[in-house]
Structure 1
Amino acid sequence: MIPIITTISAKKLIGVSLNMSFIDNKTAELWRSFMPRRKEIANNISNEMYSLQVYDENFFSQFNPVTEFKKWALVEVTDFNTIPGGMETFELEEGMYAVFYYKGSPANATQVFSYIMKEWLPQSGYVLDNRPHFEVLGEKYKNGSDESEEEIWIPIR
């Protein structure tokens, strides 16, 4: 897996969030709450969805699978003029990212992220930046399928 290094501009996002840990993973619950309501977001830019994680600064250097982080299910919007009830806004700041294109089952995610953090990152010349990590789930994303495709965005500097 060889990433593309890119800098993104700031993005406005709307969606829902849950606190969770790797041991107490509530990703399915989060997306079950979001998917039936995503059409309520009237000013979305595309059909892409964002699975976004906000980790504390020392999350990876002092990794513990029970440490909580906030995970979001989001879509990008043009503005925050209309926010559906029960949803929140999130402003993703601009910054540099390593973008990995992944094709395969979400069941293999542990191996993919392990490779990125333990092999690619230490050899890359970059360091992990303290900004959100996210995955872009586009038209080729098929939940649970070996044919699913997504982008994995890792913040670097």
Structure 2
Amino acid sequence: MDSEIVKVDQKIIVGMKLEISLLENQTQTLWQRFMPKLNSISNRLDNNLISMSIYSSDYFHSFNPSNRFMKWAGVEVSEEPIIGDGLEIIKIPKGLYVRFLYQGLPSQAGPFYQSIFQEWFPKSGYKLDQRPHFEVMGDKYKNNEPSSEEMIYIPVME
């Protein structure tokens, strides 16, 4: 499992959020609500899409797939635009992240994430930090295609 520790500057994200759990995963519904609003967002930095998860401080201590967390669908912008129509602004604080390349179907990502938390973290010397987790879906992201690629960012501290 290839990984890289990277410093990430603060990111300003415009998007929509929904409280979900892994058992009641409504990520697809969230993206279906967000995508029609995409062209109304000004100051976009690029064509990448950002999927972000915000977990409570004890989410991973007593992991249960029915635990709820906040899921975001969004894009990065250069400065805060005037927004409306159900869109919100959130900032991802700067800090250290471990970055992984994931290739495959979103529905098959579970074992990949499991190996990060059960294998990579115990061997890494890093600890999970309490900041948003996010994925960047760029040009190589192809929804529901086995060859799809996205970059996964998980916050870490030494």
For the aligned pair, the TM-score class normalised by the smaller chain equals over 0.9
Who is 2:121 aligned against?
A: 121
| Cα distance in 1 for residues equivalent to 2:104 and 2:65 | 23
Distance 2:59 2:42 in 1: 35
* Identity among equivalent pairs (%): 41
- Offset of 1:85 from its aligned partner? 2.1
The answer to whether residue 90 in structure 2 is matched with residue 82 in structure 1 is: no
Residues 18 and 70 in structure 1, CA contact (< 8 A), matched pair in contact too: yes
Scaled by the length of structure 2, the TM-score of the pair is 0.97
**2:100 equivalent in structure 1:** 100
List structure 1 segments (4+ residues) > 2 angstroms apart after TM superposition: none
Runs (5+) with no aligned partner, structure 2: none
User: Pairwise CA RMSD of aligned residues?
Assistant: 0.8
CA distance in 2, matches of 1:80, 1:135: 21
Q: Retained in 2: the 8 A contact 1:97–1:155?
A: yes
| Normalised TM-score (structure 1) | 0.97
Uncovered stretches (5+) of structure 1, i.e. residues with no partner: none
Residues of 2 paired with 1:63 and 1:25: CA distance?
Answer: 16
Tell me, what secondary structure is at the counterpart of 1:31?
helix
Contact 2:6 2:99 in 1 (8 A): yes
Contact residue 40 and residue 84 of structure 1 kept, 8 A:
no
* Structure with greater strand percent: 2
Question: Which residue is 2:66 aligned to?
Answer: 66
SS in 1 for 2:116: helix
